[in-house]
């Protein structure tokens, strides 16, 4: 499941909406929405994201949060380390090799540290 898919599922649960009901309103299949939630489909298109936000009637901060989650929800990531340090290349390759076997706690810790470092002034 992707971060966007998890949030979309949470929004559906909060509103008591099934995939089938949401799909009918958006004019897509329930299978497509399920694949979007589970990360079997890539990021939603800009237009689909707008339709989902309108469907859930989200605005301002929540809409921005959904946009950010959609951007961070590509399940097939490619990391280009050309021109970066050897350590950056090693990090990218090690993460690619080990991510499937890392415990959830380790993933959460690494993610938290990267988020802190990526904030302005976090370096």
Q: What is the 3-state secondary structure (H, E, C) of 37-97?
A: HHCCCCCCCHHHHHHHHHHHCCCHHHHHHHHHHHHCCCCCCCCCCCCCCHHHHHHHHHHHH
The answer on 57 and 102 residing in a single domain is no
The answer on 25 and 48 residing in a single domain is yes
Tell me if 22 is assigned to some domain: yes
Domain that holds residue 91: 86-118
Distance in angstroms between the alpha carbons of the first and the last residue of the chain: 30
Q: pLDDT tens for residues 81-94?
A: 999 999 999 999 99
The answer on 98 and 64 residing in a single domain is no
The answer on 98 and 61 residing in a single domain is no
The single-letter DSSP state of residue 26 is H
Measure the CA–CA gap between 15 and 123, rounded to whole angstroms: 40
Task: CATH number of the domain at 28, please.
Answer: 1.10.260.40
The answer on 19 and 63 residing in a single domain is yes
80 exposure class (CB count in 10 Å sphere: 0-12, 13-18, 19+) = exposed
The answer on 112 and 63 residing in a single domain is no
Q: pLDDT tens for residues 33-65?
A: 999 999 888 789 999 999 999 999 998 999 999
The structural domain count of the chain equals 2
Tell me if 123 is assigned to some domain: no
What 3-state class would DSSP assign to 20? helix
The answer on 63 and 12 residing in a single domain is yes
pTM summary value: 0.75
């Amino acid at each position: 499941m992707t971060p966007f898919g998890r949030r979309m599922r949470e929004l559906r649960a909060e509103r008591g909406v099934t995939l089938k009901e949401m799909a009918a309103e958006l004019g897509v299949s329930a299978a497509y929405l399920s694949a979007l939630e589970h990360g079997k489909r890539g990021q939603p298109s800009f237009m689909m994201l707008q339709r989902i936000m309108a469907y859930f009637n989200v605005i301002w901060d929540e809409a921005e949060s959904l946009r950010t989650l959609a951007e961070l929800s590509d399940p097939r990531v490619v990391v280009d380390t050309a021109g970066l340090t050897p350590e950056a290349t090693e990090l990218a390759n090690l993460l690619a090799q080990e991510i499937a076997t890392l415990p959830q706690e380790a993933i959460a810790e690494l993610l938290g540290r990267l988020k802190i470092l990526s904030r302005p002034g976090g370096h």
